[in-house]
Chain A
């Protein structure tokens, strides 16, 4: 006994963390699966009803709309973040003083809470007092301050602008790390071969950043598929639930309409979708680093 214990000293150190993950992640995940097969309400109770919740979810236009809206947000924002992030990384990757300061400033909003940044932009976009709205009028892009959050497309655009501001530094920094670790000797070789700046970007930096680009894309896709805070705070799902995201509709079903069982089924569906992307991410990050 004592000897078995001594041989497993290492395991004793790992055990508390394993127990925590078991209690707070794996067990709840199993419970979630079971809940999704019941008609449990927020107040408790609940009967086993088989796959009824899933059938209901499949026929639920609102949930499909929320999933569709989430997908639209994702395909809208991800290329934007990647493109801008890569451009900003090219701009700021040389380690000169001005570039370093710019990099630090671009990254700053990443550390701010998404709640705070959404409230900040909620104010900036306001029709009466919003300074961004006023700015758009002052530079002639709008004839008069717009009402952003009562139309689905305008709301989506406003959220996209605010989130781009908030997370652009995230992608930029990953790309900077990628670029800085490749373009030394190879860049020099290209220089000797007589490549100009854009040729070096296109033929050397871009192909060698491919792994970082893919990884960042997946992180962005997973993040946007799980969007909630920004829409809760800025659009409130308006108009008529058209800006509900998947997480928003789970929140709405479970904690506003009290239908936990149904919310659990929606969560399982979303988890399955996310699992596909996160396994891709794990596979990609586990492959030996390209550099």
Chain B
């Protein structure tokens, strides 16, 4: 994260350079126009989808379609809420799986990160490599044995089972991030606690955890978004209609009843499914971008 702070001070130099380079007024206007053009292209699909979701259902299925709604109606939302077992069921399924994923990720990554950052131990490098190994193995390939194992112990078609699969996806990044968070905490704090005679567990709880909050927030954030959006394992593991997560439910809206698709309801569903991710991104952009860069480059 310091790298990013450093980057932004340095880029002030860069800015100075590009200004001093005689970036003339017309050039600046062209750059501004391109920025606005690109932003419009990127936002257009989302805006059009939102507008379609608030059209009256007749208008949403009209061909040729209209860009802007001539009517305003929440009927498509009402429909998607009543779809099959009801959208509340699917939303709560998705929320439950995401919450369990967060709990599993934090429950494993916080101690592991603490252990790796703060203790000497034999074979530490080996353990660290093993913990990051899932990065190298596509989880798509693991779904076959996991499906068989979960069927045996009754975890197939269960939200806990799905959360465990989602946790596999997020665990390496979580451990990596927690280890870095704990490593960046100054050693003196630990020494002081040791002198006071507190155990490693007490030290973790009273000293390290409060200081590692940004890392913990980032881990939870990424676990939530990964789980909320994950598609393939939910498609394979969830066979009962009432235990579907939101993305799987949306695909069945797409398939439609009797072959006709309810386009308005589909767009209402799309908008509702992306809303939590967009809100989280807008509210916690700083954590999100830092975590993203940390996870991707390292």
Contact = CB atoms under 8 A, between A and B. Distances in A.
Interface residue range, chain B? 35 or more
Interface string B266-289: 110110011001101100010011
A247 B278 CA distance: 28
Nearest to A95: B11
B144 A267 contact: yes
A155 interface: no
Nearest to B250: A119
Nearest to A191: B17
Interface in B201-249: 225, 228-232, 235-236, 247
Interface in A39-95: 40, 44, 88, 91-95
A115 B142 contact: no
Contact of A109 (B18, B42, B135, B171): B42
B144 A16 contact: no
* A105, A165, A247, A270 — most chain B CB neighbours (10 Å): A105
Contact of B17 (A24, A121, A187): A187
Interface in A9-48: 9-14, 16-18, 20-21, 24-29, 31-32, 35, 40, 44
Closest 9 CB pairs of A and B: A10-B119, A13-B115, A113-B229, A115-B247, A184-B10, A267-B141, A17-B112, A28-B145, A31-B145
12 contacts: A10-B119, A10-B124, A92-B35, A95-B8, A111-B281, A119-B254, A129-B60, A165-B45, A177-B297, A183-B11, A228-B140, A255-B147
Given A181-B7, A267-B141, 17 more contacts: A16-B111, A18-B131, A21-B134, A25-B134, A91-B31, A98-B35, A119-B254, A120-B45, A126-B263, A129-B60, A165-B45, A184-B11, A188-B16, A228-B140, A228-B231, A254-B144, A255-B147
Interface of B: 3-4, 6-8, 10-18, 20-21, 23, 31-32, 34-36, 38-39, 42-43, 45-46, 48-49, 52, 60-65, 67, 104, 107-109, 111-112, 114-116, 118-122, 124, 127, 130-131, 133-138, 140-142, 144-149, 164-165, 167-168, 171, 175, 200, 225, 228-232, 235-236, 247, 250-251, 254, 263, 266-267, 269-270, 273-274, 277-278, 280-281, 285, 288-289, 292-293, 296-298
